[in-house]
Structure 1
Amino acid sequence: MIDFRLDEEYEALRKTVEDFARSEVAPVIGEFYERAEFPYQLVAKMGQMGLFGLPFPESVGGMGGDYFALCLALEELARVDSSVAITLEAGVSLGAMPLYRFGNEEQRQRWLPRLCSGAGLGAFGLTEPGGGSDAGATRTTAKIVDGEWVINGSKAFITNSGTEITELVTVTAVTGEKPNGHKEISAIIVPAGTPGFTVAPKYSKVGWNASDTRELAFADCRVPAENLLGERGRGYAQFLSILDEGRVAIAAVSVGLAQGCIDECLRYVGERETFGNKIGSYQAIQFKIADMEARTHTARLAYYQAAAKMLRGEPFKKEAAIAKLVASNAAMDNSREATQIFGGYGFMNEFPVGRFYRDAKILEVGEGTSEVQRMLISRELGVGA
């Protein structure tokens, strides 16, 4: 029998995170956002709740849950604020997950307990200033010299890479040439504070203002040879698989933002009056909210299905791309409509919908643009193959 209801454990988690987001995040996040300040106190509380360890086993300091549990937490956080949601998403799916998926036992035991506790954050250095969606155009290099990797190059738009609690950045680098002439790309763990590893000042961003995003530079940065993550020459393939999972997580964040727009609008249309009537009595407003609900409902089902296939060990690349595409579109459309419903107030940062509008756009770009998602979907369908 098909049943889309959450079981008791998932529902308990969802409700716990919802309560935290409403009572702890909502009252203060606007001030952090305005100051473009990283919310260390909130991140610490999220760590104490076990959110950073949700999909990892207890043997490495995790909570013994699964990736769907993480997605539920992300959705509830993003209903209130996307900065804290993306801090969790990047810390888990991009920072810690590569270590869990591809690290050896020593690497796992060294790094994962602190990352799972939220005491430390990991980051994922893939994108480069001239690379964008073309991750295969990696120019950062790493060569073995006297038993150490010597890394040179730069990375751009890297989340969680410059906080006071950042522990490491895993970077992709060209480590040689394959027999077919293509670049050999490997993944290498670079601990924070390593000489030759420079973190630039944080970007001035349109949205996600309470999250940490930086450009990174490597100038003869040396790390031990054993900091290779996974198999040499498999770094690009490893991270492509990580991105498939990450797209499901970004879809969950997008659904949360889209739902948050609905939540705010339902409150507002029951209070705001024009021409002597509550604006919720006007069919134009009713239809806008109905469309918002339909988009969000559809997007939620899409990421639920992608997560279900992932947990069953079935191929889910197409479903992840669909979920990310549909959900990010829903977030962008809902935030635009919410801002319209709020009118002039929607343009003010003191109202959540103003933040939602600013935060939504990057969801159509990060972890694969909407165009990349369409490429993946059509490729999986055999179009143009």
Structure 2
Amino acid sequence: MRRTLFNEDHEAFRQTIRDFIEAEVAPVYHEWEAAGHPPRDFYYKLGELGVFGIQVPEEYGGAGETSFKYQAIISEECARAAVSFGGYGVHVNLVLPYLLKYANEEQKKRWLPPFVTGETMFAIAMTEPGTGSDLAGIQTTAERDGDHYILNGAKTFITGGVLADRVLVVARTSPPSPENRRAGLSILVVDTKSEGYSVGRKLEKIGLRSSDTAELSFNDVRVPVEDLLGEEGRGFEYLTHNLAEERLGIAVSAYASAAAAVEFAKKYVQERTVFGKPVSSFQNTKFVLAECATEVEAARSMVDRAIEALDAGELTPADAAMTKLFCTEVQARVVDKCLQLHGGYGYMLEYPIARLYTDARVTRIYGGTSEVLKTIISKSIGV
């Protein structure tokens, strides 16, 4: 079906991103995977390209674009090449909405210009060992001491945590009340050069191997009170505001991954011969690819509607949950089927389908597990 989501400006931007990936990412991507993250200067290149500042207001050095469509294009082009931009997704899609919404003017002037250039890379630290998705159970504390908070605790599964220059740390600034376990949480924007701040293990994952994921610990880290994001005690409320956009971002990547898998499989089965015939000539191959292409088309339609809804300020938590649930499940089925069409070669890391397969597994976990999303959806339909 004809896609109407993007205009000529969007497609010109797409070509710029595609050219950048071909020149700066694809030739060295295996080195990034071996290292566990891109080189630090890669983020300066993204800053020069302008992708960090697309949605940053012009007065802070950005382009002032409010549409999510440009971020969607980057996700699609990364999936098309079976690569990622490392900590880019957390920096832009997760952290930036918090800075734009809750930072005061002084903080925006201080943080956003280096955000745009890549000089300061941001991450966000919510998850703790033993708490998982239960944010109300956070044990990291930040006690007020004059004009500083004293931060103590630990975080895990922090994407971008190895190379981050500042981290939005969710900590308990006051005890929870019996009536509300979620009360008392605040967000501190912590300088990773602070004394007592340390990066622990760089966690080894089965997929997303070019994206650094780390454990963090805080031992009497002194955080200036002016680095409190928003108001003290409203952290949980702040964390929920960006969930719809975060989940849509995951859905876009999932759909794009499935679409890329179909293209990789089509190319492979047309080139590979079995019993003297191209694999593409067998009925099973045709039927599997037909099924996959149909699922991708359905996911694309859902994603496009959700992007339009987000841009219009109308994307609900339930809408985002449905979109992420559907697209990540489609991704799982389609990538698996397309790997199967590669036969034994699909299990070899030299083929991009193998990378898509391992990268896909986490999308049904982070940003809200499929089970959590089903709970949200069921409530939205009154059951």
**How far apart, CA to CA, are the structure 1 residues paired with 2:267 and 2:74?**
23
Q: Can you give the 5+ residue segments of structure 2 that lack an aligned partner in the other structure?
A: none
**How far apart, CA to CA, are the structure 1 residues paired with 2:144 and 2:309?**
39
Question: How far 1:376 moved relative to its partner?
Answer: 1.5
**Residue 59 of structure 1: aligned partner:** 59
Asked if structure 2 preserves the Cα contact closer than 8 Å seen for 1:125 and 1:172, the reply is yes
Matching residue's letter, 1:175: T
Question: How far 1:22 moved relative to its partner?
Answer: 3.7
**Residue 186 of structure 2: aligned partner:** 186
**How far apart, CA to CA, are the structure 1 residues paired with 2:81 and 2:109?**
34
**Residue 171 of structure 1: aligned partner:** 169
Task: Name the SS for the 1:260 alignment partner.
Answer: helix
Q: How does 1:1-385 map to 2 (within 5 A)?
A: 4-40=4-40, 42-65=42-65, 66-84=67-85, 87-163=87-163, 166-177=164-175, 180-182=179-181, 183-383=183-383
**How far apart, CA to CA, are the structure 2 residues paired with 1:39 and 1:207?**
18
Give CA-to-partner distance per residue, 1:217-263, whole Å, 9 cap, x none.
Answer: 11111111121101222111111112221111111111221122112
Question: How far 1:35 moved relative to its partner?
Answer: 4.2
Question: How far 1:133 moved relative to its partner?
Answer: 1.7
In 2 relative to 1, CA 35–345 (structure 1 residues): closer, same or farther, beyond 3 Å?
Answer: farther
> How many residues of Structure 1 are paired with residues of Structure 2 in the alignment?
379
Task: Name the SS for the 2:63 alignment partner.
Answer: coil
Asked if structure 2 preserves the Cα contact closer than 8 Å seen for 1:248 and 1:306, the reply is yes
In 2 relative to 1, CA 210–44 (structure 1 residues): closer, same or farther, beyond 3 Å?
Answer: same
Task: Name the SS for the 1:158 alignment partner.
Answer: strand
In 2 relative to 1, CA 331–181 (structure 1 residues): closer, same or farther, beyond 3 Å?
Answer: closer
Question: How far 1:178 moved relative to its partner?
Answer: 5.8
Select between 177-186 and 63-72 the one with higher mean Cα deviation: 177-186
Give CA-to-partner distance per residue, 1:293-324, whole Å, 9 cap, x none.
Answer: 22222222222222222221224211111121
Asked if structure 1 preserves the Cα contact closer than 8 Å seen for 2:50 and 2:116, the reply is yes
**How far apart, CA to CA, are the structure 2 residues paired with 1:80 and 1:69?**
17
**How far apart, CA to CA, are the structure 2 residues paired with 1:212 and 1:24?**
19
Task: Name the SS for the 1:176 alignment partner.
Answer: coil
Question: How far 1:98 moved relative to its partner?
Answer: 1.2
Asked if structure 2 preserves the Cα contact closer than 8 Å seen for 1:157 and 1:213, the reply is yes
**How far apart, CA to CA, are the structure 2 residues paired with 1:119 and 1:227?**
18
Asked if structure 2 preserves the Cα contact closer than 8 Å seen for 1:82 and 1:359, the reply is no
Matching residue's letter, 2:128: E
Asked if structure 2 preserves the Cα contact closer than 8 Å seen for 1:30 and 1:350, the reply is no
Select between 92-101 and 151-160 the one with higher mean Cα deviation: 92-101
Task: Name the SS for the 2:122 alignment partner.
Answer: strand
**How far apart, CA to CA, are the structure 1 residues paired with 2:53 and 2:381?**
35
**How far apart, CA to CA, are the structure 2 residues paired with 1:292 and 1:39?**
36
**How far apart, CA to CA, are the structure 2 residues paired with 1:376 and 1:351?**
37
Matching residue's letter, 1:205: K
Asked if structure 2 preserves the Cα contact closer than 8 Å seen for 1:133 and 1:372, the reply is no
**How far apart, CA to CA, are the structure 2 residues paired with 1:56 and 1:248?**
19
- For the aligned residue pairs, the C-alpha RMSD in angstroms reads 1.9
- TM-score, with structure 2 as normaliser: 0.93
Task: Name the SS for the 1:79 alignment partner.
Answer: helix
Asked if structure 2 preserves the Cα contact closer than 8 Å seen for 1:78 and 1:253, the reply is yes
In 2 relative to 1, CA 82–175 (structure 1 residues): closer, same or farther, beyond 3 Å?
Answer: farther
Q: Can you give the 5+ residue segments of structure 1 that lack an aligned partner in the other structure?
A: none
In 2 relative to 1, CA 101–156 (structure 1 residues): closer, same or farther, beyond 3 Å?
Answer: same
Give CA-to-partner distance per residue, 1:84-111, whole Å, 9 cap, x none.
Answer: 2x52211112233211111001111111
Task: Name the SS for the 1:89 alignment partner.
Answer: helix
**How far apart, CA to CA, are the structure 2 residues paired with 1:25 and 1:141?**
39
**How far apart, CA to CA, are the structure 2 residues paired with 1:326 and 1:181?**
32
**How far apart, CA to CA, are the structure 2 residues paired with 1:243 and 1:198?**
28
**How far apart, CA to CA, are the structure 2 residues paired with 1:295 and 1:27?**
31
Question: How far 1:138 moved relative to its partner?
Answer: 1.2
**How far apart, CA to CA, are the structure 2 residues paired with 1:188 and 1:239?**
13
Matching residue's letter, 1:73: I
Instruction: State the identity as a percent.
Output: 35
Give CA-to-partner distance per residue, 1:33-70, whole Å, 9 cap, x none.
Answer: 24434244543332221111122221222222222221
